[in-house]
Structure formats: structure tokens, C-alpha cells
Structure 1
């Protein structure tokens, strides 16, 4: 295995803002949009977890659509099929967080090898990153679809290490999702939790992220100060 340092960036909720669908939601349901968006995202993740445990894999987009349908029922938003399809299309062009581009530029300048690492399909992630203008910063896109399961299954993190040809001690998982950080810690990797809001709470399980940061730019600076030789 190579001794290079690899940064594996989660995509949804870390580089790409899943709340970028809010504008489209507000156009169809007004003030209900924030609660709807939050529930949609929570159910999307829950459904992927449940599918993984059941060993009943479907593409992440299917989890997203089922979560959308659930939110419509739970919040009594009987959206027509055409509107639901339009909202799913928005998910393919979600925006990057404001710090993503500058943070990835800083990582490149520091000589770090970066991968995109996602529960989404490779095609969906490639499209998102290209639309956001950040695809060229990655040595590759690593998707769980090859294994047909989801994070935080340990096999997924090993697949990342095998694909990137790096040992766990030289690999970092960068994520805004605590479940993802805990999954990587459990597999012996270093981690950085990007705390995307002041209200975000890291699960009190005991293990803590190697670095906690408010942005990808700060993460790269923290890494260089503590670990770059």
C-alpha cells in the first residue's frame, strides 16, 4: 500500500448541500418547506440504513424517492407525480457548499490526494460534482454501489481503502454526517467532522473525530498545522 495521504470526501451533506432543494420546495408548499426538507433528508438516510441491514440494496435515488413519498404523506403534501419528479430532478443538481471549492483548492495545493466517497451511484455523484464545478479535484469517485450496501457498513470503508490503495492510518474520511465519521473511526481511519450548523450534535458514543471543523478550508489548515510534515 502507498504511504500517500488520502482524503475521502463524503458528498451529500459534506460537499453538496442537500438543503439546496429548499427553493424548489418553497415554490410548491411555502412555509412548510424547511420541515419537509429536513424530514425528506432524515428518511433518505434511514431508508439506506434499513436497506443495508436487510441486505436489500437499491440505488440511493430509490431511497431518496421513497423518502420524498413518505414526507408527502407525513406532512400532508399531496404533490402530483410531475411535481415529485421535478423535485427529484433538483436533487441531481444540488449546489456545493460555499467553502467546497476553496477547500478543495487548498487540499490540492497541499499535495493531498482526494476522492469523492458516497452512498450515491457513481453516475449521480459524477453529475453532481461536475455541475458544482469541483469534479476535477478528485482522483476518482468511489461509490458503495459496487458492494450493493451503504455506509456505515465496514465493508464500504475497506472498499475505499482498497480502491485508493492506502492503509487506514493514512486515510481520512471527511464528512458532515456523524454516522459516517463513526463508521470510518470504527474501521481505523482518521476522520474530520465538518460541523455544518451550530445545532449539529456529534453522537455521544465515545469515539471522537480526529478533527472537528466548521469548514473544509479550516480543515485543510488544521491538517497542515498538525499532520503535514
Structure 2
């Protein structure tokens, strides 16, 4: 039997994109000039510290609970897109934690929930993040985070990760009331910077996000840090690497 999680992985992107009528994205092949690089938050911020916090609170059960929590986070965003019932990512993350704890048969009180939620306000940067941002900035490319995170979550993590002053904009899906991969969520970047879709290079952490951005019409770099299998949705990222090591070359020359 097809499990809900597997079903959501296959259908959520299509369902969310079908909710909003948009003009199909232009082809991203051929001539281009990267004017903006927009990062998903997790492409810059390492969430492994959340796993450590959960393990400390629930020894020997932290890894499983963290995995269930992370899965529920994204399931809930996709479900809310499909239902047309948006709530911000902070609230979604808290709801996902409660669900994951129940599903894992772990009792968690409000104080424990609050403590674990705070871990999402102090994420550290991946080791290659700061240098990559600096090199892109030297190439006169504008930089942004385009994320389901709330602005408050992003601002806290920019400080905790030491990336202050390296980004031109923090763009939250709260602006439009749809989570990625809904087209309106990706449109935030073209609206904010007044550029066309092929002029934006989107850096995804999740394969589903790479697919969503590509379907919208962005050139897409998948920072596949988890070495995950690619999605089978009819779209593939333009570049795929386990880190940001090839991003600057791809953004400036088109070669990955």
C-alpha cells in the first residue's frame, strides 16, 4: 500500500502548482546572465544541530524523532498548500513536532517543545556558505534567501551562522501565503529584484524544491548534500553537486 508520505512526495509539487494559474516559465536554455542567486535556507544553514538538540533531550530516540519531525514539516506545508490553509513555517514546524512526537510514541510537554523550537533560531552555516556568497558578490550577483522560513527565523539564522551583510534580501513565502513549490512562492524573487525568470539561479537543498524552481522557469542548482535520489517529475536541475563547490562557476559561466 502506498504510504501517505510517499504519496505526498509524488503529488505535492503538482498539486501545489496546480492551485495557481501562471504563465509557463520560459526556456532556461541558451543565452543567459545570472543577475540573482536565490538560496533555499537549508542550502546555507545546516539543520544537523536540531538533530543534536533532539537527541540530547531524548537519548537514543533523537535521530528517529528528528527524521519524523523533518518529514512532517514538509508534509504539512504541502498539505496546507493543497487545502488553501496557509500558516507560517514557525507554526507549521511546531505542529509537525507535536505530530512527530505522537507518531513516535514520545511524550513531549510545552517547555520541551519550546526548547526544541529554539534550535531553529540558531542554525549554523555549512562550511562552504560564506566563501561562496563572497565570491558571488564579487561577481556582482545579487543574493537572497527564498524560503518557507519566516523572516524572523531567517534573521536569527543569518546572525547565528555569521552571514550578516552577505545577502541583499530575505524573502519569505509569508509574502504570498503559499509555500514552495507553488509558483507564487518562486515568483517572490523575480518581483523583489525586477528580473526575468532565466536571470535567477535558484539553489535548492531538497530535490522537490529543485524540481519546483525548474518548473517555474528558474535555472536551478541542486546542493544535494544528502546525496538523495532525484525526483521523477519531468524536470531536472541544471546542475547537481553534493556542496556549493561548483555554484560560482555555474552562475558565472554556465559550466558546472
**Normalization by structure 2: what TM-score?**
0.83
| Aligned partners of 2:44 and 2:125 also within 8 Å | yes
Match for residue 170 of structure 1?
Answer: 199
| Aligned partners of 2:34 and 2:251 also within 8 Å | no
Q: RMSD in angstroms over aligned alpha carbons?
A: 1.7
CA distance in 2, matches of 1:83, 1:163: 38
Quote how far apart the aligned CAs of 1:4 are: 5.7
Secondary structure at the counterpart of residue 60 of structure 2: helix
Match for residue 153 of structure 2?
Answer: 124
Quote how far apart the aligned CAs of 1:102 are: 1.7
| Matching of residues 30-179 of structure 1 within 5 Å | 30-179=59-208
Quote how far apart the aligned CAs of 1:129 are: 1.0
* Structure 2 gaps, min length 5: 1-32
Secondary structure at the counterpart of residue 231 of structure 2: coil
Aligned residues: 224
Secondary structure at the counterpart of residue 7 of structure 1: strand
* Structure 1 gaps, min length 5: none
| Aligned partners of 1:161 and 1:171 also within 8 Å | yes
CA distance in 2, matches of 1:220, 1:35: 35
Quote how far apart the aligned CAs of 1:107 are: 1.4
Secondary structure at the counterpart of residue 246 of structure 2: helix
| Aligned partners of 1:19 and 1:37 also within 8 Å | no
Quote how far apart the aligned CAs of 1:60 are: 0.5
* Consecutive aligned runs of 4 or more in structure 1 exceeding 2 Å deviation: 221-228
Distance 1:178 1:4, change over 3 A: closer
**Normalization by structure 1: what TM-score?**
0.92
Q: Does 1:189 align with 2:218?
A: yes
